[in-house]
A and B are shown apart, each in its own frame.
Chain A
Amino acid sequence: MPSESSVAIVRESDIVVARQKGRELAASVGFSSTDQTLLATAISEVARNIISYAGQGEITLSTIEAAGRRGILVIARDQGPGIPDLEAAMRDGYSTGKSLGVGLPGARRLVDDFDLASTPGVGTTVTLKKWLR
Chain B
Amino acid sequence: MSVPILKQGDILIASIQSALSDQDLVELRDQLADRVGRLRARGVVIDVTALDVLDSFATRTIRGIAYTATLRGAATVVVGVQPEVAFAMVQLGLGLDGIATALDLEEGLALLHAGKVERALRK
Contacts and interface: CB of A to CB of B under 8 A. Distances in A.
B88 A102 contact: no
Instruction: Label chain A's interface by main secondary structure.
Output: helix
A33 B52 CA distance: 10
B53 A48 contact: no
Given A37-B84, A37-B88, A12 B53 contact: no
A41 B93 contact: no
Contacts of B94: 100, 102, 106
Given A33-B84, A34-B87, A92-B93, A41 B23 contact: no
Instruction: Label chain B's interface by main secondary structure.
Output: helix
Interface in B1-55: 19-23, 52-55
Interface residues on chain A, size class: 20 to 34
Interface residues of B, number: 22
Contacts of B82: 37
Nearest to A14: B21
Contact of B56 (A16, A23, A100): A100
The 10 closest A-B pairs by CB, nearest first: A106-B92, A37-B84, A44-B55, A34-B84, A41-B88, A13-B21, A12-B22, A109-B91, A102-B56, A40-B53
Given A16-B20, A38-B84, A106-B56, 10 more contacts: A13-B21, A13-B23, A16-B19, A37-B85, A37-B88, A38-B91, A40-B53, A41-B91, A41-B92, A48-B57
